[in-house]
């Protein structure tokens, strides 16, 4: 595919990782139209009609106008939700937001261009149970895992492991508690605390605790792999490195060939051009798959290591790669 036209970027207003991509595309003189779903419908206007087998029309805000036929690719970088007039009734707002998703969002997915990540496939790939099955199917080593709302099943699983286990949320849990930003990370569960009645309240995921020499964030973009060791020098960071970025040191590394091959097969199976993979490397050097994020952060890795991840993403968006 040869590049022509604009890259449409859908992202929140304040997104340093997205800024890296915009800066690189600007350096390459690739035209960019950046918008946030929060601008729609109050500050972002859409008009499109179907002519033959293509949608033609415009997307414009108070700064620029984008011809939809000129979109070569879309970078979908965690845009925020549409915003509506404050005086709109709650029920009307729910309907309007749903219509925005299926109308505006649906139109964009109908554009004949490449996406990073492809919206439907990325949404499917967010499911942790699917990730784990596909990872095991392509030959990656996956920790023993239980999903349950049965407290007794959790206790039996812990007993079968004969050691500590990890509890993980299925999706990032972030919010505000007493005015402070808070998040739920992976945590070690003491088998003596099981069974626990709270397990019955919803689905929970438990995994065996994998001894760590260090962890690896492996970013795959446009067929290329960039891997960096993450050494976390705090107790919290040792359990889940996301909980303590200040404790990290990084080192570029090369994954074993069988791991690299498994990563490529997994992305192919999921239909993704990009994935941010997390692995544990045991003291014996075995790589154990934890998860993949179809739109995961990578800027902190690039900043710390100099790995050219932004360039690979822009190669894909520009259309200079196959």
Look up the CATH number of the domain holding residue 259: 3.30.470.20
Phi and psi at residue 227, to the nearest 5°: -125, 140
The residue among 293, 296, 279 whose CA lies nearest residue 131 is: 293
- Based on the fold, state whether residues 97 and 164 are members of the same structural domain: no
Cα distances (angstroms) measured from residue 180 to each of 81, 155, 219, 241: 22, 33, 31, 20
Give the pLDDT score at 175.
Answer: 59
Residues ≥6 apart with Cβ < 8 Å to 218: 225, 226, 227, 228, 255, 259, 263, 276, 277, 278, 279
Last residue of some domain: 208, 229, 264? 208
Asked, for residue 47, whether it belongs to a domain, the answer is yes
- Based on the fold, state whether residues 222 and 305 are members of the same structural domain: yes
- Based on the fold, state whether residues 204 and 243 are members of the same structural domain: no
> 174 pLDDT band (50/70/90 cuts)?
low
- Based on the fold, state whether residues 236 and 173 are members of the same structural domain: no
User: Got the DSSP string for 105-151?
Assistant: IHHHHTSSSEEES-HHHHHHHT-HHHHHHHHHHTT-B---EEEES-H
Is pLDDT larger for residue 227 or for residue 163? 227
Across the range 70-96, mean pLDDT stands at 93
DSSP letter assigned to residue 62: S
- Based on the fold, state whether residues 159 and 221 are members of the same structural domain: no
pLDDT greater than 70 at residue 226? yes
Phi and psi at residue 308, to the nearest 5°: -80, 60
pLDDT greater than 90 at residue 253? yes
Give the pLDDT score at 186.
Answer: 80
- Tell me which residue range forms the domain holding 158: 144-208
- Based on the fold, state whether residues 27 and 82 are members of the same structural domain: yes
Asked, for residue 1, whether it belongs to a domain, the answer is no
For the CA atoms of 311, 316, 318, 320, what is the dihedral angle to 10 degrees?
100
Residue with the two structure tokens 């792999």:
225
Mean pLDDT over the full length of the chain: 91
pLDDT greater than 60 at residue 321? yes
Asked, for residue 266, whether it belongs to a domain, the answer is yes
- Based on the fold, state whether residues 98 and 172 are members of the same structural domain: no
- Based on the fold, state whether residues 304 and 220 are members of the same structural domain: yes
78: left (phi over 0), alpha (psi -120 to 50) or beta: left
> 182 pLDDT band (50/70/90 cuts)?
low
Give the pLDDT score at 296.
Answer: 87
- Based on the fold, state whether residues 108 and 10 are members of the same structural domain: yes
Is pLDDT larger for residue 16 or for residue 171? 16
Last residue of some domain: 193, 208, 223? 208
The residue among 84, 88, 69, 92 whose CA lies nearest residue 37 is: 84
> 236 pLDDT band (50/70/90 cuts)?
low
Asked, for residue 290, whether it belongs to a domain, the answer is yes
**Residue 55 belongs to domain with CATH number:** 3.40.50
Asked, for residue 169, whether it belongs to a domain, the answer is yes
Asked, for residue 38, whether it belongs to a domain, the answer is yes
Q: How many domains does the chain have?
A: 3
pLDDT greater than 60 at residue 3? no
Helix axes 128-137, 257-270, angle to 10 degrees: 130
Model pTM score: 0.89
- Based on the fold, state whether residues 237 and 160 are members of the same structural domain: no
Residues ≥6 apart with Cβ < 8 Å to 19: none
- Based on the fold, state whether residues 198 and 234 are members of the same structural domain: no
Across the range 93-98, mean pLDDT stands at 94
What confidence tens digit (pLDDT) does each residue in 124-154 have?
Answer: 999 999 999 999 999 999 999 999 999 999 9
**Highest mean pLDDT of the ranges 50-64, 171-185, 189-203, 252-266:** 252-266
For the CA atoms of 260, 168, 231, 137, what is the dihedral angle to 10 degrees?
-10
Last residue of some domain: 185, 208, 231? 208
User: Got the DSSP string for 259-316?
Assistant: HHHHHHHHHHHHT-SEEEEEEEE-TT--EEEEEEETT---HHHHHHH---HHHHHHHH
Give the pLDDT score at 1.
Answer: 36
The H or E element containing residue 219 is strand 214-221
> 322 pLDDT band (50/70/90 cuts)?
low
**Residue 172 belongs to domain with CATH number:** 3.30.1490
Quick one: what percent of the chain has pLDDT higher than 90?
Answer: 78
What confidence tens digit (pLDDT) does each residue in 265-290 have?
Answer: 999 999 999 999 999 999 999 999 99
Give the pLDDT score at 75.
Answer: 96
Give the pLDDT score at 239.
Answer: 73
Give the pLDDT score at 176.
Answer: 59
Across the range 158-164, mean pLDDT stands at 90
Quick one: what percent of the chain has pLDDT higher than 70?
Answer: 91
Name the token pair of 161.
Answer: 């492991």
- Based on the fold, state whether residues 204 and 228 are members of the same structural domain: no
């Amino acid at each position: 595919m040869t590049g022509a036209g604009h890259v449409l970027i859908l992202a929140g207003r304040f997104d340093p990782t997205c800024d890296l991509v915009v800066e690189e595309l600007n350096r390459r003189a690739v035209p960019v139209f950046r918008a946030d779903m929060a601008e729609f419908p109050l500050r972002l206007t859409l008009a499109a009609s179907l002519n033959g087998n293509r949608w033609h029309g415009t997307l414009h805000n108070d700064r620029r106008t984008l011809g939809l036929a000129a979109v070569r690719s879309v970078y979908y970088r965690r845009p925020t939700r549409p915003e509506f007039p404050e005086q709109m009734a709650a029920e009307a707002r729910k309907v309007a937001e749903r219509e925005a998703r299926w109308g505006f969002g649906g139109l964009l997915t109908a554009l004949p261009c490449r996406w990073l990540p492809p919206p439907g496939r990325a949404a499917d790939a967010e499911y942790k149970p699917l990730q784990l099955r596909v990872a095991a199917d392509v030959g990656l080593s996956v920790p023993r895992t239980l999903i349950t709302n049965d407290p007794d099943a959790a206790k039996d699983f812990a007993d079968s492991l004969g050691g500590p286990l990890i509890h993980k949320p299925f999706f990032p849990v972030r919010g505000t508690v007493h005015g402070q930003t808070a998040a739920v990370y992976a945590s070690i569960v003491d088998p003596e605390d099981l069974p626990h009645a709270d397990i019955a309240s919803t689905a929970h995921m438990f995994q065996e605790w994998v001894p760590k020499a260090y962890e690896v964030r492996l970013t795959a973009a446009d067929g290329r792999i960039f891997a960096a060791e993450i050494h976390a020098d705090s107790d919290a960071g040792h359990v889940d490195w996301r909980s303590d970025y200040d404790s990290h040191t990084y080192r570029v590394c090369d994954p074993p060939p069988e791991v690299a091959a498994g990563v490529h097969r997994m992305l192919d199976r999921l239909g993704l051009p990009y994935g941010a993979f997390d692995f544990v490397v045991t003291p014996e050097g075995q790589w154990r798959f934890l998860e993949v994020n179809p739109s995961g952060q990578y800027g902190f890795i690039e900043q710390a290591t100099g790995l050219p991840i932004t360039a690979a993403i822009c190669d894909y968006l520009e259309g200079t790669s196959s």
